[in-house]
């Protein structure tokens, strides 16, 4: 066998051109208008009032959907916007770490789980697609929600129901974190569920008593 060694991946100091162009536009446009805000945030630190748990999906950026400026949203994004149950087992928990920081250090007042239509993570779970070393384990968190969805996997409605049911499950999981429960019990933290329709741009909000999603007010 005379196989060529696999070349090491190269680290290029040149970012993709699109990012340079975007940064140039930021320096020319947004930075001058928000310069004082950035300086203030640098000196005093961040104090966002809202935390968002969103999906990695490039179409569902919380800062864009909520028209948020620097320092306004504390965001953690993951595949399928899932909140795992509280599990302090000494392993690596990025989402839980962000929750702990947002709730106990930043003391955010509002915590929003932001789900969305056409979620690839949800589709992967529903179709039993091969999911590599990490995704399969992660989206197995969808199992309990999937078991409680009424429609069958073949139904067109199944994915939307799973997206919305798993969002409710994530809100339930949030309440398994002692610091989340404690903050919400003393009315220092309010929990919300919201669902973004990528095609229409419509946002609906979970009405927690009825369990229904209703269109966000204009």
Is 194 a residue that touches Zn ion (CB under 5 A)?
Answer: no
Q: Which of residues 149-178 bind Zn ion (CB under 5 A)?
A: none
Minimum distance between the CB of residue 80 and Zn ion, rounded to whole angstroms? 5
Q: Which of residues 116-145 bind Zn ion (CB under 5 A)?
A: 119
Catalytic residue among 21, 77, 107, 119: 119
For residue 56, indicate whether it is catalytic: no
Is 114 a residue that touches Zn ion (CB under 5 A)?
Answer: no
The 3-class secondary structure across the chain, one letter per residue, is: CCCCCCCCCCCCCCCCHHHHHHHHHHHHHHHHHHHHHHHHHHHHCCCCCEEEEEECCCCCCHHHHCCCCCCCEEEEEECCCCCCCCCCCCCCCHHHHHHHHHHHHCCCCEEEEEEECCCHHHHHHHCCCCCCCCHHHHHHHHHHHHHHCCCCCCCCCHHHHHHHHHHHHHHHHHCCCHHHHHHHHCCCCEEEEEEECCCCCCEEEEECCCCEEEECCC
Minimum distance between the CB of residue 190 and Zn ion, rounded to whole angstroms? 24
Catalytic residue among 24, 37, 57, 217: 57
How far apart, in whole angstroms, are the C-alpha atoms of residue 116 and residue 59?
9
**Binding characters for Zn ion, 48-67, by CB under 5 A (x = yes):** -------x-x----------
Instruction: Please say which residue, 102 or 115, places its beta carbon nearer to Zn ion.
Output: 115
For residue 93, indicate whether it is catalytic: no
Catalytic residue among 37, 59, 110, 118: 59
Minimum distance between the CB of residue 115 and Zn ion, rounded to whole angstroms? 8
Minimum distance between the CB of residue 172 and Zn ion, rounded to whole angstroms? 19
How far apart, in whole angstroms, are the C-alpha atoms of residue 180 and residue 160?
27
Instruction: Please say which residue, 71 or 121, places its beta carbon nearer to Zn ion.
Output: 121
Q: Which stretch binds Zn ion (CB under 5 A): 111-119, 127-135, 139-147, 161-169?
A: 111-119
Active site residues: 55, 57, 59, 116, 119
The residues binding Zn ion (CB under 5 A) are 55, 57, 119
């Amino acid at each position: 066998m005379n196989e060529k060694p696999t070349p090491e991946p190269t680290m290029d100091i040149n970012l993709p051109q699109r990012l340079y162009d975007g940064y140039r536009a930021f320096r020319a446009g947004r930075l001058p208008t928000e310069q004082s805000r950035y300086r203030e945030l640098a000196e005093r630190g961040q104090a966002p009032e809202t935390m968002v748990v969103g999906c990695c999906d490039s179409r569902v950026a919380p800062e864009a959907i909520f028209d948020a400026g620097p320092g306004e949203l504390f965001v953690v994004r993951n595949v399928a916007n899932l909140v795992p149950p509280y599990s302090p087992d000494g392993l690596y928990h990025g989402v839980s770490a962000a929750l702990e920081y947002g709730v106990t250090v930043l003391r955010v007042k509002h915590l929003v789980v932001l789900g969305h239509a056409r979620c690839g993570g949800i589709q992967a779970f529903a179709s039993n697609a091969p999911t590599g070393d990490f995704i399969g384990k992660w989206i197995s968190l969808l199992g309990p929600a999937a078991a409680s969805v009424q429609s069958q996997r073949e139904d067109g409605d199944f994915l939307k129901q799973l997206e919305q049911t798993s969002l409710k499950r994530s809100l339930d999981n949030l309440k398994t974190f002692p610091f989340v429960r404690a903050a919400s019990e003393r009315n220092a933290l309010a929990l919300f569920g919201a669902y973004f329709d990528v095609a229409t741009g419509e946002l609906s909000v979970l009405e927690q008593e009825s369990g229904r999603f209703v269109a966000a007010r204009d």
